[in-house]
Structure 1
Amino acid sequence: MAFSAPIDPQFNQELRTLLEERQEELFETFSPPESRANSQGSTENVSEDCIRHDANDDEDDSDEDEPLTEADPTELARLYSQTHPEMVHEDDHREDDDDDLDKSSVEAVFRTGCGCKHQCYTNFSVDRVWEYRLNMSEFQKDQLDVLVLAKLEQCEVQGEPIRGGKRERQFFDYVFDGHRTCEKVWRYIHNLGEKRFKNLKAHYKTHGVVPRDHGRRGKRPVNAYSFEVVQDVVKFLLRYADDNGLPMPAAPHGRDGRPPVYLPSCDTKADVYKKYVNACKVCQPAKQSVGETTFRNIWKLCVPHIQRMEPRTDVCAKCEHFRNEIQFATTEEDKLNSSIAFSGHILKAQKEREFLNSCIKRAQGEVTDITVQPPCSPCSLDLHNVHYTFDFAQSFLLPHQSRQVSPLYFLNPLRVNCFGVCNDSLQSQMNYLFDESQTIGIDNRKCHGANNVVSMLHNYFHEHGLGEKGCHCHADNCAGQNKNKTVIHYFCYRTSTGLHDEINYHFLEPGHTKCICDACFGKIRQVYRRSDVDTVSQLADIVSKSSRREQGEVLW
């Protein structure tokens, strides 16, 4: 109802005026049962109509209405609200529940009463009703709906068929804690608004105890954009990426999606949206444009491979060179030649990446059929497709604090180098740590040379090799580390002395050399940035923690 608190004197004065103006209507409502029955020529007695409620009261005869007493403030408030609509609470026009869960409000409702002759609130305590309303408020809306529908099924009393058996009237005996109550009290105890409870009864009459679904569920919204408008957004993004983006040869490791296209880091999504709106305006005729939020959602759902390049994203120098030539070409011939060269570079990088993935797949399939426990004697197992990847990581600086300490910033820290050898057949990586005192040169000089690579590769094959007869090795194109005669001579030494029957040495396209070793180094960096590290042994513990295996694989 519109009011739940005691009525003030001003309100009573206005009600007296209303009573004088509407005497006839109020006489029908407030007259005693005997006089009303005599005026209608009926002798029916009213017994428990205030307890048993009819769901179709709007269709019933007037002689079945519950008589009210003159002192009923609830009915007075209803009549007052008809002539003073500004006083009606907004909850009467929407389906929201009575969310006033304070104990004081429950006490006020108890003082006001329910308005029926049985005074239903006297059967319960304030604490019990308040606690139950709090419990009901913990339910989600759909859960409370099902609970109320199930209770309505228990309270339903089937009436006699009327009007030729076409319809049965619905009656409900509302019971709470073993006491029969009127509908108003039962609804208040279950924390339900008047409109919501009315809708629930209508839903129960039509569908029974079934969760309610929104009427528009599964239907296309009336304000949705057409397919042509969404298609225009996708076409614009694809064209913009072709003109300004930098395509990658393959998807990042671990993703089977479309290769990403990086837009310049200076172009934000808001800037791209403004260009899209301007493009829609200059079209003849002008096309409909979508809002910025919708634009971002379409971008995320339809073309997620078009991404904004981070300011420090590592890109290929050749790709950047070709992109600049295409963007700033003065003639169509220069632009065509640069596009052909760019396309050839991308295709070459894609082929190298596909060959790397095929080598890893063959290596993993071969090892699954054989139980291997390294180290093994050279050429002791009939394996010909074992795959290794090796590379250097960026140097670690010690001491390292997760919180920046000002005096340490100005000191010259100790550099610790990390070299990783990944066995793609077993999906494991061995990391070698060595500081400045263990390098070939003085003061960390010649720490990344070919001699260091050969030394650590030889130790790995001897201590952690699988005893394969043939293998494939992938490395980047760094001439000072991997692509030099020293490393190639070492592989020739292994095949000539019988340590291997065959070694295939491969290099990825420059600028597109990211491999599984870089992913493992990234995992180490994540733990390293959050930790305080003072010694090499502590750094070795950090490397072990970054591994999913029970015992991290690290040597120093």
Structure 2
Amino acid sequence: MRENNTSTRRQPHHDHDDDDPQQSNEEKCAKFVNDTCGCKLAVGDRPCSTLFTAEYYRDIRAQAALLSHEQLDMVILGSIMSTISTDEDIVHGRHKIEKRSRYRTEHMHNGHQVCAATFAFLLGVGPKYKLQALKKHYAENGLTVREHKNKRRLPPKALTYQDQTALVQFLQNYAEDNAILLPGRIPGYKRDDLKLLPSSCNKKCVWECYKTSCITTGIRYAELTTFRKYWCQLAPHIVITKPRSDLCWTCQTNSTLIMKAINRSDEEKSQTIKQAERHLKLVKEERAKYRGACEKSATTLEKYFSAGPPPPDACVPPKSHKGTIHYSFDMAQQVHYPCDPFQPGPIYFLTPRKCAIFGVCCEAIPRQINYLIDEASNVGKGGNIIISMLHHFLAHHSLGETSVHFHADNCTGQNKNRYLMCYLMWRILTGLHTEVKISFLPVGHTKFSPDWCFGLFKRRYRKTKIGCLDDIVAAVNQSAAPNFAQLVGSQDGTTIVPMYNWSDYFEEKTVKTALKGITQMHHFRFLSSRPGKVMVKNTHDDPERTISLLKSSSWRPEPGELPNVIVPAGLSAERQWYLYEKIREFVPEEAQDLVCPKPTVPKP
């Protein structure tokens, strides 16, 4: 049946609104009013298009143009729903019944009945395409949003579900044969369930193996770009190792044993897996202990410093409040200066002036004091320099706690040695603390807060032009809110943080072999109720045993007693002349006499 009794009188040029795309909206409205729609629905058998002015058409069409396709569809479907007749049977005369071929619809606007051409022009759509399609959609689906037929339809060349499954299965099998499993946090990645492929391979090499395998088995394969996309989407836990990843040797050894145990007996496989699981469990528990100590320290900080922590240089007196504060300390890789983001080529073959960095971090604030050790102020590696800077930190930058807990890595030459343990005992004997704990993270899993602060500084350092030591101080302070710089000595060798000879001081007073096998010990505890003794544990769940460090249990240090000061040797004559002749030209002119002055000693 016809849509209405005037549908045959529509003028052809109004069947679609986009007859002339070059016309403006005003021109189209004026032309439509002038030509009319051709129907006789208005009073007096006038065209219904004469019921509205050109300005009215312009405003309504502008409002409709602001709607999205889905919103405009719902507006039209609402109008269709109010007037459409969807009865399947239609009666002609008294007895003749036929099936309806088209749905009858009367369009209404602003209280007036209008024809399909005027209704479509008001909304800026085509009556033969948009309206007919929406009528059919309403009759079949009701008042629902219309979706394009190609939506959710895969292109003809897209991989099927079976092809994608085969791709993922290949990646899993490839990783099973070649990947290394690492526990805990891996630098540069947020996940802890990664399978790391060797850094020597790349995704193209893996794709070539995948392509060969698919051709051999007759399976359809994905091209390289699609292969990379599906790898990232469907197997993100399989990654290629970055060359800088800090790998644990125990984890690598266990992974190698597991890979080699494929053809061995079940008992050997089980033993190898249990060995790896024990190591992973230990690492996880030690990391949990570290996080728990940080959280406990944060609770203490909120309790005693409700108005906020004191400034870095507040020099809070020792034992000012009862509570445990946690600190972590570590040595960073030294930096060189001068340094320029646009570094001139020749300086790559030279050795500029060096600056070592030692950081002590309080995670509860968070705040890290970074000790900058210029080459002229360095007294060498070992326990003396670490203990001296730690002593300065506790005297000038700590929070005045009665109990302190330290975390460090397992570097036995610097952080984990007999003299550091004797110094912590010395703090108990002098009454500076009532309890001191120090724990060491497992080897290969020592990434913690100081590394985070060092990374923030290094990121700033690479982007900053560094001419002298003061520029490094500025880079540290500007790198991030937690970072603060503390000079150990000036560029001319003037000492700011004194270095003490702690090793000679404790050599005659402590038992040399008391801490034999210290590399296997990871937890140490000192108490004021047990002066001169240390409680040690290899792991956190091992039984605690007590070791006496003093040769004479009656020895007590005198108030204010400190070891002899180590005077830095400064730069050698050879080094002074090297900096003056080789490095001076790369230093900014205003800093040349600070960094590379002309030596006053004869050239060797």
After TM superposition, the score normalised by the length of structure 2 is: 0.60
> Residue 377 of structure 1 corresponds to which residue in structure 2?
317
AA matched with 2:334: S
Q: Secondary structure at the match of 1:394?
A: strand
> Residue 554 of structure 1 corresponds to which residue in structure 2?
485
Which of 272, 291, 294 is the matching residue for 1:357? Answer: 291
C-alpha spacing 1:134/1:505, structure 2 compared with 1 (3 Å): same
Q: Is 2:69 aligned against 1:141?
A: yes
Cα separation, 2, equivalents of 1:297 and 1:409: 39
AA matched with 2:338: P
Q: Deviations over 1:242-298 (max 9, x none)?
A: 332222221358998543221112333444455456556777xx8787787776666
C-alpha spacing 1:98/1:410, structure 2 compared with 1 (3 Å): farther
- Deviation, structure 1 residue 240: 3.3
Which of 117, 121, 124 is the matching residue for 2:54? Answer: 124
Q: Is 2:345 aligned against 1:417?
A: no
- Deviation, structure 1 residue 499: 1.3
Q: Is 2:179 aligned against 1:245?
A: yes
> Residue 529 of structure 1 corresponds to which residue in structure 2?
462
AA matched with 1:377: P
Which of 9, 22, 27 is the matching residue for 1:67? Answer: 9
Which of 312, 315, 322 is the matching residue for 2:244? Answer: 312
> Residue 202 of structure 2 corresponds to which residue in structure 1?
268
> Residue 53 of structure 1 corresponds to which residue in structure 2?
none
- Deviation, structure 1 residue 120: 5.2
- Deviation, structure 1 residue 184: 3.9
> Residue 487 of structure 1 corresponds to which residue in structure 2?
420
Q: Deviations over 1:200-234 (max 9, x none)?
A: 455567888764456899999999966x8776665
Cα separation, 1, equivalents of 2:262 and 2:146: 65
CA contact (8 A) 1:174 1:182 kept: no
Cα separation, 1, equivalents of 2:477 and 2:36: 74
Q: Is 2:383 aligned against 1:450?
A: yes
Quote the RMSD (CA, aligned, Å): 5.1
Unaligned runs of 5+ in 2: 39-46, 92-99, 488-604
- Comparing 217-226 with 251-260, greater Cα deviation is found at 217-226
Q: Secondary structure at the match of 2:419?
A: helix
Cα separation, 2, equivalents of 1:350 and 1:408: 44
- Deviation, structure 1 residue 390: 1.0
Counterparts of residues 6-405 of structure 1 (less than 5 Å): 58-60=1-3, 64-67=6-9, 74=13, 102-103=22-23, 116-117=37-38, 118=47, 123-124=53-54, 139-146=67-74, 152=79, 170-174=105-109, 183-184=116-117, 187=120, 190-193=123-126, 194-202=128-136, 211-212=145-146, 236-252=170-186, 258-276=192-210, 299-300=231-232, 303-321=235-253, 323=255, 332=264, 344-371=278-305, 373-374=309-310, 375-384=315-324, 386-405=325-344
After TM superposition, the score normalised by the length of structure 1 is: 0.64
Q: Is 2:426 aligned against 1:466?
A: no
- Deviation, structure 1 residue 465: 1.8
Cα separation, 1, equivalents of 2:230 and 2:86: 58
Cα separation, 1, equivalents of 2:377 and 2:106: 91
Cα separation, 2, equivalents of 1:455 and 1:290: 61
CA contact (8 A) 2:332 2:356 kept: yes
C-alpha spacing 1:366/1:157, structure 2 compared with 1 (3 Å): same
Q: Secondary structure at the match of 1:419?
A: strand
Q: Secondary structure at the match of 1:383?
A: strand
Cα separation, 2, equivalents of 1:246 and 1:225: 30
Q: Deviations over 1:4-38 (max 9, x none)?
A: xxxxxxxxxxxxxxxxxxxxxxxxxxxxxxxxxxx
CA contact (8 A) 2:6 2:115 kept: no
Which of 489, 506, 513 is the matching residue for 2:446? Answer: 513
AA matched with 2:429: S
AA matched with 2:406: C
Task: Give the paired residue count.
Answer: 457
C-alpha spacing 1:135/1:255, structure 2 compared with 1 (3 Å): farther
Cα separation, 1, equivalents of 2:466 and 2:62: 52
Cα separation, 1, equivalents of 2:301 and 2:426: 25
C-alpha spacing 1:172/1:305, structure 2 compared with 1 (3 Å): same
AA matched with 1:488: M
Cα separation, 2, equivalents of 1:414 and 1:202: 81
Cα separation, 2, equivalents of 1:220 and 1:369: 60
Cα separation, 2, equivalents of 1:491 and 1:99: 90
- Comparing 390-399 with 251-260, greater Cα deviation is found at 251-260
C-alpha spacing 1:214/1:111, structure 2 compared with 1 (3 Å): closer
CA contact (8 A) 1:114 1:120 kept: no
- Comparing 427-436 with 293-302, greater Cα deviation is found at 293-302
The structure with the greater share of residues assigned to helix is 1
Unaligned runs of 5+ in 1: 1-57, 79-91, 441-445
